[in-house]
Amino acid sequence: MSDKGKYKIKQLSIFSENRPNRLGAVAKVLKDGKINILGFSIAEGAGYGVIRVLVDKPETARDLLTKEGFVVKFTEVLAIQMEDRPGGLFDLTDQMKDINIEYGYGYRNPPFAVLIVRVEDIDSGIDKLLAGGLKLLDNVNFH
**Residues in contact with another protein by the rule CB under 8 A:** 11, 13, 15-19, 43-48, 50, 52, 69-71, 73, 75, 102, 118
Residue number, 5 or 43, with CB nearest to another protein: 43
Shortest reach from residue 43's CB to another protein, in Å = 5
Got the DSSP string for 80-120? EEEESSTTHHHHHHHHHTTS-EEEEEEEEETTEEEEEEEES
Shortest reach from residue 75's CB to another protein, in Å = 4
16 with 24: CB under 8 angstroms?
no
Shortest reach from residue 81's CB to another protein, in Å = 23
Residue number, 12 or 137, with CB nearest to another protein: 12
Residue number, 24 or 69, with CB nearest to another protein: 69
C-alpha 94/C-alpha 90 separation (Å) is: 7
